[in-house]
Structure 1
Amino acid sequence: MTWILSGLLAAAALLPLAWIILRPAQAVDRAAADRALYRAQMAELERDRASGRLDEAAHAAALLEVQRRLLAVPEAAPARVGGRGPLLAGLVAVPVLAFAVYFLNGFPAMPSATFAERRDAEARDEALLAELRTRLQSMPPRAPQTRQGWLLLAEAERNRGRPAEAAAAYGEVLKIGFDPDLAAQRAQVLLEAGQLEEASAFLADALPRAPGHVGLRFLAGQVEAQAGRPAAARAAWQALLATAPDGAPWKGMVERRMQSLP
């Protein structure tokens, strides 16, 4: 029975790929597809908030992340979907290889991890992060490996839901070399951590170094909005819209955020 259910699940998972192979080829704009995905995610977040599955703080943090990704979507020319050969090979090869490997090494009756096992795994992860922090303190301050280590730590802390720790690690990365995209990441996690004064001070320092960066300018307005200064937020976003190129995909999102201001 387990193998039958596994086969049905595999078939269901591969149905979208089969549909892509069978339908006629169409021109695809990757940037447009990305924007559509992020708009769908924002709509889903609104539904989760309305149904009570997300509180206001969690909704605001998640919405800010999706909006940042929407702002970062580049303009791209349409590209045409290529041949179906690789897709057809994947449709056949993936389930065959997966079942072959699982048949040789799998154990369908294996029980799920217990609470103690999950707790031990969490403790191991914490130990690894602590070791990484210790090593970073002893590494050359401006070495490329040190920068990469701090960036790895920042992403790990962020993925574990610790924005304050992530902001501190991003700060170490930026000490080694300024990067406007990483500066926007740090400003965002400061906002997620509720550190509005720190985010405001950081953006005041970062914006003159990258005055045209859309993400930093948007977050400067977001800081003002979350701090209860709607007039300042509106002014920041109006200035951003005034310099937006024609057809900029993020203009509508900024306009909606302005309309939501009191």
Structure 2
Amino acid sequence: MSGVSIWLALGLLAVAALLPLAITLLGPARARGRGEADLGLYRAQLAELAREKEAGRLDAAAHRAAVLEVQRRLLAAPAEAGPAEDRRSRWVLAAALVAVPGLALGLYLRSGIPDMPSAPFALRHEIAARDDRLLDDLRVRLGQLPPESSQAREGWTLLGNAERGRGRLAAAAEAYRKALAGGFDADLTGQLAQVLLEEGRNEEAQALLAAALPRAQGHVGLRFLAGLAEAQAGRPESAKAAWRALIADAPPEAPWRAMVERRLNALP
């Protein structure tokens, strides 16, 4: 393929990828609440995860973990945004529509090599080893901070996210526990509980959630995970009771309501 053909193909791919966003931005504004936007993003992310699984880039376990993470974020979504915030979001998206392909093209013109082969195994192994050293160094430095300090909590949380992203669930759980040493945080507790459930450590997750729920009775994410823990423990009736109570307390427009109902209806 000639150089011109390569650039033409890349340009067409970029246009195709950004066309839906352009149509949305350039079309007439619609009354769209934050809940609707969150739900739309949730559906798009699930569709993308399904495509990744079908293409063989995600195995079944990684797909389940990713879907659960998307659901957790939906449950933790903030309240409705106002018109001013919606206008700001449209301007940000419009700027991204122009800036992202331009930035990508500039970087490619500077250092791109179309015919470069994929990184060999030895190089990927070297990069992974380097990342291991960096995370180990971060772990040592965080261990020298006062456990109750905000710097320690933020650092351990970031380390937990990094370990989780690499599929090292035990290390992620340990980091999240250290982050919680500085004090209770409902969202962070939910992240730890989710990692424990992903790893199959149901009893630990249930004990964690049982201790956390009295301190954050209205936290949607913790209540959802409590039901999930019951379902994974083979107690569908208890899971149904937890999720029915969650749905009963949910406003009709809650963007996560349909997701919980589907989970509930899928139980035996």
TM range (shorter): 0.7 to 0.9
Which residue in the other structure is 2:3 paired with?
A: 2
1:180 aligned to 2:186? yes
Q: Matched residues, percent identical?
A: 56
In 1, Cα distance between the equivalents of 2:190 and 2:161? Answer: 14
Aligned to 2:27: 24
Structure 1 pair 87/255, CA: closer, same or farther in 2 (3 Å)? closer
Gaps of 5+ in 2: none
Q: Distance in 1 between matches of 2:100 and 2:166?
A: 31
The alpha-carbon deviation at position 39 of structure 1 amounts to: 2.7
Aligned position for 2:229: 223
- The alignment's TM-score, normalised by the length of structure 2, stands at 0.82
CA distance in 1, matches of 2:258, 2:89: 35
2:68 maps to which residue? 64
Q: Secondary structure at the match of 1:33?
A: helix
Residues 195 and 13 of structure 1: is their aligned pair in 2 closer, same or farther, counting only changes over 3 Å?
A: same
Kindly state the Cα deviation for residue 194 of structure 1 after the two structures are TM-superposed: 0.7
Q: One-letter code of the match for 1:251?
A: R
Of residues 141-150 and 37-46 in structure 1, the stretch that sits farther from structure 2 once superposed is 37-46
Amino acid at match of 1:39: R
1:14 and 1:91 in contact (8 A); partners too = no
Q: What root-mean-square deviation, in Å, do the aligned CA atoms of Structure 1 and Structure 2 show?
A: 3.3
Please show how residues 193-204 of structure 1 align to structure 2 within 5 Å.
193-204=199-210
What letter is aligned with 2:230?
E
Contact 1:180–1:210, Cα closer than 8 Å, also in 2: yes
Distance (whole Å) between structure 1 residues aligned to residue 110 and residue 55 of structure 2: 45
Contact (CA 8 Å) 1:21, 1:87: kept in 2 or not?
Answer: no
Q: Does 1:153 align with 2:159?
A: yes
- Taking the aligned partners of 2:101 and 2:55, their CA distance within structure 1 comes to 37
Which position in structure 2 is the counterpart of 1:260?
266
Q: CA 1:88/1:252 → structure 2, altered by over 3 Å: closer, same or farther?
A: closer
Say if 2:159 and 2:175, in contact at 8 Å, map to a contact too: yes
Give the Å deviation of 1:64.
1.8
Which deviations, in whole Å up to 9, do the C-alpha atoms of 1:117-136 show, x marking residues without a partner? 11101100011111111222
**C-alpha displacement at 1:180, in angstroms?**
0.7
- Residue equivalent to 1:137: 143
Q: Secondary structure at the match of 1:228?
A: coil
How far apart, CA to CA, are the structure 1 residues paired with 2:120 and 2:150?
40
State yes or no: 1:35 paired with 2:33: no
Aligned to 2:123: 117
Q: Which residue of 1 aligns with 2:13?
A: 12
Alignment-derived partner of residue 212 in structure 2: 206
Instruction: Give the Cα separation in 2 of the matches to 1:219 and 1:143.
Output: 28
CA distance in 1, matches of 2:131, 2:241: 44
Once residues 164 and 131 of structure 1 are traced to their aligned partners in structure 2, the CA distance between those partners, rounded to angstroms, is: 18
Structure 1 unaligned segments of length 5 or more: list them.
none
Moved more, 223-232 or 93-102: 93-102
Amino acid in the other structure paired with 1:74:
P
Q: Which structure's CA Rg is the greater one? A: 1
Comparing 244-253 with 44-53, which one deviates more in the overlay? 44-53
CA distance in 2 between counterparts of 1:183 and 1:164 reads 15
CA contact (8 A) 1:150 1:169 kept: yes
- Give the C-alpha shift of residue 56 in structure 1: 5.4
Letter in 2 for 1:248: A
Partner SS, residue 194 of structure 2: helix
